[in-house]
A and B are shown apart, each in its own frame.
Chain A
Amino acid sequence: MATQKKAEPIVLSDSERNLVTILVNTDVYPTEAVYGAAYIFIDKCYVLLDAPEPNRLSVALRGQESLDEKALDALAGEFLNELLAQTLREMVCAQNRPLLEAVVGKAISGAMGPAPTPEIDLSELDALELDDEPFEDPLGIAMSWEEKYGKEKKTKKKLTKDGAAPDPTVSEG
């Protein structure tokens, strides 16, 4: 029969000392998950961690009140469940880390407001000579179409009716 390497945590109860010790293989359960589970159990019992050998962590849980063997086993079971949940959480976190970082980065950059506009050097404008006098417009480019041609059309019509050239100094209302 082939020997199988034991990866599951080893649980040792000691009701006389009100203590249960769990040996965890950190190749299976990451150290961060052990810390996470231990942190949650601080409220329920006294927790002491140790590293008795490489890749192994021991978690000693001592009852704040006197616990019998059944209660100690239940405490160890709860811890192992929490350890499993924390391990899964670590795995999901590791898988989604790039996405999480991108989302958080986007949220932070959005909260900081729009990016500052680059400073433009306008000192060259000071060197330009700008006078306030209106520019000359010999070809009448700046004039509107009505100003330029509107009245002339009406005078042309009058010319054809009367048969004589209209007086250019007389303006029509």
Chain B
Amino acid sequence: MSSLQLHHSIYDRGAVEQTAQAFEDYGTYEIHQSTESDHLQVDIEATDPADTNELIGRFANYVLSLSIATKRSRQ
């Protein structure tokens, strides 16, 4: 299992949940607040373990674009 650390000042929790839903066909995702830092931790397990790196990368891009869109719509 791999994990992504997403800083809460940059990434929106709603965007993380939305991304997990959008990528549900490709793996399983567990989102929880990190106890040690200001990060949301997303544990990712790819359906096909060979695709783990690509899945993490695509997940990161998707959640970043959604978070930026959310921030801009709030301004």
Q: Note whether A and B form a binding pair.
A: yes
**A residues bordering B, Cβ < 8 Å?**
35, 38-39, 42, 46-51, 57, 62, 64
A49 touches B64 (CB 8 A): yes
Nearest B residue to A51 via CB reads B7
**B residues bordering A, Cβ < 8 Å?**
4-5, 7, 9-11, 38, 54, 56-58, 60-61, 64-65, 68, 71
A35-B71, A39-B68, A49-B11 known; 7 new pairs, CB 8 Å cut-off, are A42-B61, A42-B65, A46-B56, A46-B57, A47-B64, A51-B9, A64-B57
Residues in chain B near residue A64, CB distance under 8 A: 54, 57
Residues in chain B near residue A46, CB distance under 8 A: 56-58, 60-61
Q: How far is the CB of B69 from chain A (nearest CB, A)?
A: 9
Tell me whether chain B's interface is mostly helix, strand or loop, or mixed: helix
A50 touches B57 (CB 8 A): no
**Cα A38 to Cα B72 with chains together (Å):** 14
Residues in chain B near residue A38, CB distance under 8 A: 64, 68
Residues in chain B near residue A51, CB distance under 8 A: 7, 9-10, 38
Most central of A35, A38, A46 by chain B CB within 10 Å: A46
B7 touches A49 (CB 8 A): yes
A-B contact pairs, 16 of them (CB 8 A): A35-B68, A35-B71, A38-B64, A39-B65, A42-B64, A46-B56, A46-B57, A46-B60, A47-B64, A48-B60, A49-B10, A49-B11, A50-B10, A51-B7, A57-B10, A62-B57
